[in-house]
Amino acid sequence: MVNLLDFDAESLTAWFAQLGERPFRARQVLRWMHRFGVDDFAQMTDVAKSLRAKLAETAEIRGPVSVRDASAADGTRKWLLGVDGEVGNAIETVFIPEANRGTLCISSQVGCALECSFCSTGKQGFNRNLKTAEIIGQLWHANRMLGAVKQPGIDDSGERVISNVVMMGMGEPLANFDNVVAALKLMLDDNAYGLSRRRVTVSTAGLVPAMDRLRESVPVALAVSLHAPTDALRDQLVPINRKYPLRELMAACRRYLENAPRDFITFEYVLLAGVNDSDADARALLELTRKIPCKFNLIPFNPFPGSDYRRPTAERVRHFQEILMNAEVVATVRKTRGGDIDAACGQLAGQVRDKSRRLASVPLQPMHNVQSVALETYP
Ligand code: SAH
């Protein structure tokens, strides 16, 4: 069975062509699946009955399986979604409602291979890339669960429940390039989710060649996890820096913005007490990013079991922010919202069966074993 959630518009059209069907049929089915959240061909009333029967024989629309659905008091919601029907393999998706927008934070891999020293997902090890269906399936599923699917024939110009998507969940999106790009195309497609490209953000630890390819394929907003102003420190915190050091990373950021004068890079910067949060660090950051139109998003470290880092004091965070702001660089602190479902940045653990077994000794972090934890809002 072919899962039609695996196709973006172009590949669905090609698949329909093989069936001898015209492109507008693919568009119709795309709308039913993504705009209207339908998973049953019988409901596709404007599609010819014969085609519906043919589709039902060869294809399916199979969304993710929700293993757990946790709601925080403030409306934030986190889904644990099963992968491969295997116990011990699951990813996480988080919905963060705010007054003027709703943000869905989605995952791109089961675990992550980059091993950033302060990230819980990194400690879990890596299992595999998510398929396109599993990436877009998170949005498809959240839309349905939040009652946000559109109704055929009804004016849908009102506010969107999910207005923004950030690829800031588990995994390194640019390490799963093709599947992530297909999912991004669906997010922007008017027959699917129709999101503005500025409201879809890919966050990367800095895979330089893939940053260039992303700009050419689907130029969405880009966030770069910087976390350190020098190579010596960044090599420790974000090991991929040894392959793509700061000079190359900064050059790639500039290239990303070359043809988009109104865009900017968001630099994410996790603040680790006594490690990267000094005044000198802030000033070095300003120097490093001087030539790049950018904003900073400061993320006070979110602890997780087994981590040695500490979160700086609120005063230290404010002071760091002030140094950036005094240089007229926009710097926001990712806000903490009362939460109780362990959904903060760097805490998305899911359940990963580490294939590399490097980190087999690190215990999994089950969702019922959750302390009261901060949730963030995204820029
Ligand atoms: N792999 C991508 C996206 C995933 S993480 C990336 O590196 O950008 C999303 C953001 O959360 C990244 O900026 C990441 O560095 C940050 N993060 C990871 N662990 C964290 C923690 N424990 N506390 C705060 N932020 C963290």
| Greater model confidence, 355 or 67 | 67
CATH of span 65-341: 3.20.20.70
Cα 268 to middle of ligand 1, angstroms: 8
Q: What is the pLDDT of residue 379?
A: 32
Each residue's pLDDT tens digit, 216-269: 999 999 999 999 999 999 999 999 999 999 999 999 999 999 989 899 999 999
Pocket residues: Cβ below 6 A from ligand 1: 116, 118-119, 168, 172, 203-205, 225, 268, 270, 299, 301-302, 345-346
What is the maximum alpha-carbon separation in the chain? 69
Give the confidence band of 111 by pLDDT, cuts at 50, 70, 90: very high
Residues 6+ apart with CB under 8 A from 98: 377
Q: What is the pLDDT of residue 305?
A: 85
Instruction: Name the closest-CA residue to atom 26, ligand 1.
Output: 346
Answer whether residue 6 shows pLDDT above 90: yes
Q: What are phi and psi of 300, to 5 degrees?
A: -55, 130
Question: Quick check: is 92 catalytic?
Answer: yes
Q: How many CB atoms lie within 10 A of CB 138?
A: 27
Instruction: Name the closest-CA residue to atom 9, ligand 1.
Output: 168
Residues 6+ apart with CB under 8 A from 178: none
Q: What is the pLDDT of residue 154?
A: 72
Q: How many CB atoms lie within 10 A of CB 22?
A: 11
The active-site residue out of 105, 268, 345, 376 is: 345
Instruction: Give the pLDDT mean for 364-368.
Output: 35
Q: What is the pLDDT of residue 23?
A: 96
Probe target for ligand 1 pocket from 107, 166, 168, with the most ligand atoms within 8 Å of CB: 168
Answer whether residue 339 shows pLDDT above 70: no
CA–CA gap between residue 218 and residue 171 (Å, rounded): 19
Answer whether residue 213 shows pLDDT above 70: yes
Range(s) within the chain of domains with CATH label 3.20.20.70:
65-341
Averaged pLDDT score across all residues of the chain: 89
Instruction: Give the pLDDT mean for 140-149.
Output: 93
Q: What is the pLDDT of residue 261?
A: 85
Instruction: Give the pLDDT mean for 91-113.
Output: 94
| Greater model confidence, 368 or 31 | 31
Q: What is the pLDDT of residue 94?
A: 93
Range(s) within the chain of domains with CATH label 1.10.150.530:
2-60
Give the confidence band of 148 by pLDDT, cuts at 50, 70, 90: confident
Cα 207 to middle of ligand 1, angstroms: 14
Probe target for ligand 1 pocket from 204, 265, 345, 378, with the most ligand atoms within 8 Å of CB: 345
> What percentage of residues in the chain have a pLDDT greater than 90?
75
Cα 168 to middle of ligand 1, angstroms: 7
Instruction: Name the closest-CA residue to atom 15, ligand 1.
Output: 225
Instruction: Give the pLDDT mean for 319-341.
Output: 84
Cα 282 to middle of ligand 1, angstroms: 19
| Greater model confidence, 350 or 91 | 91
Whole-model pTM: value is 0.92
Q: What is the pLDDT of residue 367?
A: 34
Label each residue of the chain as H, E or C.
Answer: CEEHHHCCHHHHHHHHHHCCCCHHHHHHHHHHHHHCCCCCHHHCCCCCHHHHHHHHHHEECCCCEEEEEEECCCCCEEEEEECCCCCCCEEEEEEEECCCCEEEECCCEEECCCCCCCCHHHHHCEEEECCHHHHHHHHHHHHHHCCCCCCCCCCCCCCCCCCEEEECCCCCHHHHHHHHHHHHHHHHCCCCCCCCHHHEEEEECCCHHHHHHHHHHCCCEEEEECCCCCHHHHHHHCHHHHCCCHHHHHHHHHHHHCCCCCCCEEEEEEECCCCCCCHHHHHHHHHHCCCCCEEEEEEECCCCCCCCCCCCCHHHHHHHHHHHHHCCCCEEECCEECCCCCCCCCCCCCECCCCCCCCCCCCCCCCCCCCCCCEECCC
Answer whether residue 116 shows pLDDT above 60: yes
Q: What is the pLDDT of residue 375?
A: 35
Of the candidate CATH numbers 3.30.70.100, 1.10.150.530, 1.20.1250.20, 2.60.40.10, the domain formed by 2-60 belongs to 1.10.150.530
Cα 346 to middle of ligand 1, angstroms: 5
The active-site residue out of 92, 172, 268, 376 is: 92
Instruction: Give the pLDDT mean for 60-88.
Output: 87
Region of poorest pLDDT, from 102-111, 112-121, 183-192, 365-374: 365-374
Answer whether residue 364 shows pLDDT above 50: no
Question: Quick check: is 253 catalytic?
Answer: no
